[in-house]
Amino acid sequence: MAAGATVPCGDHGPRWALPLRPPLCLACAVQTLGDGSASLVRKKHVLSRLQDALAWQALPVVQLLAPDERVCMHLIGTLFGMLHSVEDSSALNLLVEVLVRLVVELKSEQYLYCILDESQKELCKATTMRSSLPMFSLLGKLADAIPGFAEILVVKHNNLVDHLLMGLTYPNEGIKAAVCYLYGKLYSSPVGTERLSGHFEERLCGVFLNTLGCAQTKELQINCLGLLKELLKSDHFVSIFMNNLKTEEESSENPDFLEGENPLPLVLKKLLLTRDEMLQAASSHCMAAVLVHSPSRYAPAFIHADVPEFLFECLLCKSEILIWSVYCCLLLLTEERLFFSKCHTVYGIESLVRSLQGVLLLNNVELHKQGLLLFTEILKRQPVEIKLFTNRGVCIEAIDVLMETVNCPVLEVAVEAVKAVAAFLRDCASCVCLHLLRKDHLSSPPVPYEELQKLLEAVLKRCADLSPPQSSKRHAGDLLFSVPQSHPANRNLGRVPQRQGQFLLNTLESFRNACRLAVEFQGDFMAQENAFTAPNSESKDTLSNFSEFLLRICDSLCIPMVMSYLERAVSPSVTEVFISALNTLFTVVPSMRNKFSEKLASSSFIRLTLELKARYCSVQSNPVLNNTCSSFLCSLCLNLYSATEKMRTSSQEEQEMSELLQKGLPQLNYTIAESLLLLSETPEPFFLDQSLCSHQHCFILLLYFAYTFGDRFVPDAELFLAVRNFLLSAQDHGDCSPPHILRAALYLLAVCQDKGKALDMRSLSTIRRILDNLPDLSLVYVHCPLLLKFFLRYPEFMGRFGHQVLQLWFSWEHCKQTEVEEVDFGSSDQLNSANPLLPILKSNSSILLILLDLVSSSSVEVAWKVLMTLRTFLERNEDVLVCDLLRSRFLQILQQLLVESSSATLQVCNLCGKCNPRDTDLLQPSLNFLYWSLHQTTPCSQQRAVAVLLSNVSLLELLQKVLECTWLWSPPSRPACLSSEDALLCSGWLLVASLLLYQHRYNTEVHQTLSVDLTEVLNAVIFRNKKPILLLVSIMQFLRAVLRQNFSSSLLVIVSQNTAPSAAQPQPSSLQDSALHPLAMQQVFSLVVSLQNLLVHVQLQKDLLLSPAVVACLETLVEYLYVKNQDVALHVASQPWHRFLLFTLLSGGQNSFLQPEVLRLMTLFVRYQSSNIISQKEISQIIQEAAEANIAELPEATSHALHLFLSQIQNSHYQVEPEQLGIIQTLLDRLLGQRTMCVKHQDIVCLGSVAVSLSHIGD
């Protein structure tokens, strides 16, 4: 028979053969299974072959069996009967598998009924449930394989359900597991759920909970949880499971209500403690299935059972399924306040943060999103009174997690991350505030500002990366309505994905919350900086740095990002958060409030906010956006007032402006065009419309501040007309506008005047009446060139208010802006921008007379500024008519000033005496004035000036300090560059040299002497030591003065480096030194060589001031030597080097004897009979060249030097021919006549900032 089962047999024929290898006779297989004497091994073999046939050749099997119902029933009956006779588990599994496959393939309900009938019979006659396991397994497999099986069982064979309940109480977990599996399939069917509802409520619920609570095998536990999962889909079953749990209030009063026989929360909690991740996942999933029906109703039971504690512990696992289930369950628990009040979040937050760290390493986007969602909800719902983060390390880890998720390349994760950051940085005052950094959540400082800064920067940069770059550098006001609403780009978000808009909104909320946090901590000293900073070290982790970062990142990232978004779409929610954040920023860094406000105003944010209000806040819509925009505009205007009105400190005016803006801005929801019409609107007669006035005044203030910072968003001509009409209407109806409104209106008229028509007489009269009623014109004055031009444009205004306006202009103007002569302006535009009054003066010269009146009638400061302006104007505008206009008036003013300032020299002396040498800005012009008073005056006045100067002891002491500074101050790196210190030294030496000269001339009494180290003076000329040329010339002037007086002056005491004035004079080393005292022969020769070298330098560098100074010094030196020792003088004058020096000078560019330096040197050599230097032939050449020259064309210095030379020849012992004597006399006569006819040239020149008299240098 066994053989017949594997090969074709003759008894049954080929009809029953199945196409398997080896072939299988289906008839033989059935006979073998039904043969009670066949061994279990043979039957298992046949079952295995049948299993293969049904698996791989199901169609031939069905074709053999389907036509013969009797055979099918026989086969099914045979297989079903074996379920009770076979005890081998593997054979039973094969039996169940083959039977299920067979019934499925036959597709006939009668076979199902057959099995159900047989099952019911067997269960009814069975005395024990021990043998029912295969039957329950079969029914469960059939229910799993055939969709309608569950309905058939509960409808047609519902008596079987009672046997299932009995199996659930049988003490065999295998049977219980099979029963639970079958129950699960039955309750997964809607029909089964409906039919078995009463069965569950009355009988199954308690038995099942007991079974689940006592389950030991994993199979039973899993099948029970599977059944529970199906049951928990029904709200009714959930209610039965939870035993109609009491409300939260009742639960709080009786926390022991959970005690009972295996209530569901405790059973599921027990599974969480198994440490089996599969069971933990299934348990948490079932908890979520319960909570999802009603978190407020069922969450307290789980919370009182301390289930959240174990859920948080489960987060430390590696199973993604378990973590997901726990996230879902905890997310539902966050909807119940008891979850937070029991402090489960405080103890579990660390586990959540660590879980997020691990989850981010996994490639599971949905898990990332779910974890962030849970984190966000906890941050949002945590009560204010309960600290969330008590460990600073966990705080930092939380920030790191958020930073990592913000930078996640998956946009969906980044979106959830930014939501979490927004909750993380929520305002302390709101119920969803920042729990990490809230003052009542931190156990102790410090606040991790540096980490917060990195987090916020990461969020903003990520959002900026998602935003396309701004297409142009348009201002904020140009972005909002750049395309019409009907355009496809504005019909919806268009190119802006909705997710990107949400990302931007969350980003802005994060930024706003960070700003609010910074403001909140300003009042907490403990939160100002890191309390654990090391001594003498600067911490970056401070509130100040964080606040400055917020302002900086708003400018660099936040504002450009929103502007880019507004180019493509406008969202009221986005703009509301954005404007609110900007408003908060005003108080984040108070010291930068005004600068920040100025930048916003110059970037058209006033216009942007007005347009937002007009579009979204009209007809009382979007009240939150309206209040936010109104508050922002109010703060912005008050800040701008504080920034622009520094000269006008009126707290009352600021208070009035604040009240006006707070009251009027919320109702000012009109378009720009509508607001312009409001300005021109006239109130009803006998009725003063306060609302209209408020709207008009608010709009004028907004326009004033916008225009002040360059945001001219209204056409000038239209605005000019509207403001004019406003002033006319207000005056006609007796509306007395406050000064700050009039000030703004006048300013707007002034800035729009060029584009508007000239004011008519009615308008001029109205404005004049308004101004006449003011107690002070300064109340409406704005320091602006356009306003000045406006007042000076109309004769009606200039005649009445010109003097006051110009007085205010110069009072408010900075002095440096008027001193434009000190700046090298490349163009007239640059000059006019530095002093905007200049073009106004050029267009209306009659204003000059007002300025001249200001010189004589105003304060010294104002008069000085006016004079500087007039000087600059006259230097650059050589207008004959203007000069004629000013000449007579200037003379009157100067005469008045001289009469009032007869003691000017004395005053300057006293002023200098109060200074120190470092006060160069004040001393330099003062010393120039004193030097000028000595050289540019009459002899009588000169004598008086010398007496005044020499009687001022403090002045002489100051000059002593200035001279000493020559040897103390280090030389500049560039000798050619005259520093302010060097300029002061030059003026000091020149003034002392002049005082020596005129004190000797007038024998003036001296009250204070000056002491000078002669060695230092000589060394300064001999070695020069990189001293500027002008300083060298000044020191040589001093040296000439003391040489002329033979080093003997009542004003001067000569000292050397080794002696003091009172010490005994040193003994000269030789007779020659004794004769030349205080000079020494070596010093004389060194000085002569240095002067010769300087003349060569003059020839190379073409320095026209140094040459006469050197020649004059050489002349004076030889004169001094001649008086002291003629031999030494003649020896010095006859030095052979002098002849080489002459050749060097003659070899220059002119190659002529008729040069001042050459002629003066020739005169010197002739005077001291230096025949080896100059010969008779050369004298003749000079006379010949002079006779041939045009005397009238010779420069004044050359003529004077030639006259000296010819006079010296005439009086010397040189032998000249008679005809040459006649030529000399003729030349002298012509030179004398030329000197009487020549015009006196300017003697005082300004070199750098030093006044120098040319006659003083070259005489």
**Position 854 pLDDT exceeds 80:** yes
Confidence of residue 1099 (pLDDT cuts 50, 70, 90): low
Would you say 167 and 136 are in contact if contact means Cβ atoms under 8 Å apart? yes
Other C-beta atoms closer than 10 Å to the C-beta of 834 total 16
* Mean pLDDT computed over 138-146: 83
Confidence of residue 731 (pLDDT cuts 50, 70, 90): confident
Would you say 1108 and 1029 are in contact if contact means Cβ atoms under 8 Å apart? no
Q: Which pLDDT does position 248 carry in this prediction? A: 43
**Position 945 pLDDT exceeds 90:** no
Q: Which pLDDT does position 1171 carry in this prediction? A: 77
Confidence of residue 534 (pLDDT cuts 50, 70, 90): low
- What are the φ and ψ backbone dihedral angles of 1051, each rounded to 5 degrees? -90, -20
Q: Which pLDDT does position 1012 carry in this prediction? A: 94
* Mean pLDDT computed over 634-663: 86
CA atoms within 13 A on the CB side of 357: 13
**Position 574 pLDDT exceeds 50:** yes
Q: Which pLDDT does position 222 carry in this prediction? A: 93
Confidence of residue 395 (pLDDT cuts 50, 70, 90): confident
Q: Which pLDDT does position 832 carry in this prediction? A: 53
Matching residue, tokens 């020659």: 1072
CA-to-CA distance for 82 and 50, rounded, in angstroms? 15
Q: Worst-scoring range by mean pLDDT, 159-163, 580-584, 807-811, 948-952?
A: 159-163
Q: Which pLDDT does position 491 carry in this prediction? A: 41
Would you say 840 and 887 are in contact if contact means Cβ atoms under 8 Å apart? no
**Position 515 pLDDT exceeds 80:** yes
* Mean pLDDT computed over 568-594: 91
Q: Which of 252-261, 464-473, 756-765, 1218-1227 has the highest mean pLDDT?
A: 756-765
Confidence of residue 610 (pLDDT cuts 50, 70, 90): very high
Q: Which pLDDT does position 217 carry in this prediction? A: 92
The 3-state DSSP class for residue 891 equals helix
**Position 1062 pLDDT exceeds 50:** no
**Position 920 pLDDT exceeds 70:** yes
Q: Worst-scoring range by mean pLDDT, 242-251, 503-512, 729-738?
A: 242-251
Q: Is the dihedral of CA 288, 291, 295, 298 positive or negative?
A: negative
Q: Which of 116-130, 428-442, 943-957 has the highest mean pLDDT?
A: 943-957
Produce one character per residue of 1201-1225: b if its CB has 16 or more CB atoms within 10 Å, e if not: bbbbbbebbeeeeeebeeebeebbe
At how many degrees (to 10) do helices 218-231 and 205-214 cross? 140
Q: Using one digit for the tens of pLDDT, what is the confidence trace for 642-654?
A: 888 766 667 888 8
Q: Using one digit for the tens of pLDDT, what is the confidence trace for 1168-1183?
A: 887 788 888 888 888 8
Confidence of residue 96 (pLDDT cuts 50, 70, 90): confident
Confidence of residue 1257 (pLDDT cuts 50, 70, 90): confident
Confidence of residue 1064 (pLDDT cuts 50, 70, 90): very low
Q: Which pLDDT does position 1162 carry in this prediction? A: 87
**Position 723 pLDDT exceeds 50:** yes
Torsion of Cα atoms, 619 then 625 then 626 then 629, to 10°: -150
**Position 806 pLDDT exceeds 80:** yes
CA-to-CA distance for 532 and 1050, rounded, in angstroms? 71
Long-range Cβ pairs for the range 1217-1225 (8 Å, 24+):
1220/1180, 1220/1183, 1223/1183, 1223/1187, 1224/1183
Confidence of residue 140 (pLDDT cuts 50, 70, 90): confident
Q: Using one digit for the tens of pLDDT, what is the confidence trace for 867-915?
A: 888 878 877 766 655 665 565 565 455 445 434 444 556 767 776 777 7
**Position 283 pLDDT exceeds 60:** yes
Q: Which pLDDT does position 1059 carry in this prediction? A: 44
Q: Which pLDDT does position 159 carry in this prediction? A: 79
CA-to-CA distance for 831 and 594, rounded, in angstroms? 29
Cα-only R_g, the chain: 55
Q: Which pLDDT does position 1034 carry in this prediction? A: 93
Would you say 1056 and 1078 are in contact if contact means Cβ atoms under 8 Å apart? yes
1112 or 1099, which is more confident: 1112
Produce one character per residue of 279-302: b if its CB has 16 or more CB atoms within 10 Å, e if not: bbbbbbbbbbbbbbbebebbbbbb
Mean residue pLDDT of the chain comes to 80
Q: Which pLDDT does position 888 carry in this prediction? A: 54
Would you say 75 and 30 are in contact if contact means Cβ atoms under 8 Å apart? yes
* Mean pLDDT computed over 721-736: 85
Would you say 865 and 810 are in contact if contact means Cβ atoms under 8 Å apart? yes
Confidence of residue 686 (pLDDT cuts 50, 70, 90): very low
CA-to-CA distance for 530 and 542, rounded, in angstroms? 6
Q: Which pLDDT does position 1072 carry in this prediction? A: 78
CA-to-CA distance for 727 and 697, rounded, in angstroms? 11
Cα 538 off chain centre by: 22
Q: Which pLDDT does position 470 carry in this prediction? A: 55
Q: Which pLDDT does position 287 carry in this prediction? A: 93
Degrees, nearest 5: CA angle 164-167-168: 90
Q: What is the pTM assigned to this prediction?
A: 0.64
Q: Which pLDDT does position 825 carry in this prediction? A: 36
Which residues are 17's β-sheet partners?
25
> Which residues in 333-375 belong to E strands, given as ranges?
none
Contact partners, residue 127, CB within 8 Å, separation at least 6: none
790 or 1025, which is more confident: 790
Alpha-helical regions (H) of 157-253: 159-169, 173-187, 190-195, 197-199, 205-214, 218-231, 235-241, 248-253
Q: Which pLDDT does position 976 carry in this prediction? A: 53
**Position 245 pLDDT exceeds 80:** no
Confidence of residue 1093 (pLDDT cuts 50, 70, 90): confident
Q: Using one digit for the tens of pLDDT, what is the confidence trace for 500-511?
A: 788 889 899 989
**Position 1054 pLDDT exceeds 80:** yes
- What are the φ and ψ backbone dihedral angles of 446, each rounded to 5 degrees? -95, 165
Q: Which pLDDT does position 1121 carry in this prediction? A: 92
CA-to-CA distance for 829 and 988, rounded, in angstroms? 39
Confidence of residue 968 (pLDDT cuts 50, 70, 90): confident
Q: Which pLDDT does position 483 carry in this prediction? A: 38
Confidence of residue 706 (pLDDT cuts 50, 70, 90): very high
Three-state secondary structure string covering 75-114: HHHHHHHHHHHCCCHHHHHHHHHHHHHHHHHHCCHHHHHH
Q: Worst-scoring range by mean pLDDT, 593-607, 678-692, 1097-1111, 1165-1179?
A: 678-692
**Position 705 pLDDT exceeds 90:** yes
**Position 1237 pLDDT exceeds 60:** no
* Mean pLDDT computed over 412-418: 83
The 3-state DSSP class for residue 1147 equals coil
Q: Which pLDDT does position 974 carry in this prediction? A: 52
Q: Which pLDDT does position 291 carry in this prediction? A: 93
Kindly state the percentage of the chain with pLDDT values over 90: 25
Q: Which pLDDT does position 434 carry in this prediction? A: 37
Q: Worst-scoring range by mean pLDDT, 45-59, 690-704, 812-826, 1084-1098?
A: 812-826
Contact partners, residue 974, CB within 8 Å, separation at least 6: none
Torsion of Cα atoms, 905 then 907 then 909 then 914, to 10°: -170
Q: Which pLDDT does position 279 carry in this prediction? A: 92
Matching residue, tokens 């004589």: 856
Q: Which pLDDT does position 7 carry in this prediction? A: 46
Q: Which pLDDT does position 992 carry in this prediction? A: 94
Q: Which pLDDT does position 892 carry in this prediction? A: 56
Q: Which pLDDT does position 432 carry in this prediction? A: 29
* Mean pLDDT computed over 791-811: 89
Q: Is 1012 left (phi over 0), alpha (psi -120 to 50) or beta?
A: beta
* The amino acid at 430: S
Produce one character per residue of 166-204: b if its CB has 16 or more CB atoms within 10 Å, e if not: bbbebebbbbbbbbbbbbbbbbbbeebbebbeebbeeeb
Q: Which pLDDT does position 577 carry in this prediction? A: 94
Q: What is the DSSP string of 819-866?
A: -GGGS--SSHHHHHHH-THHHHHHH-TTHHHHHHHHHHHS-HHHHHHH
CA-to-CA distance for 281 and 462, rounded, in angstroms? 35
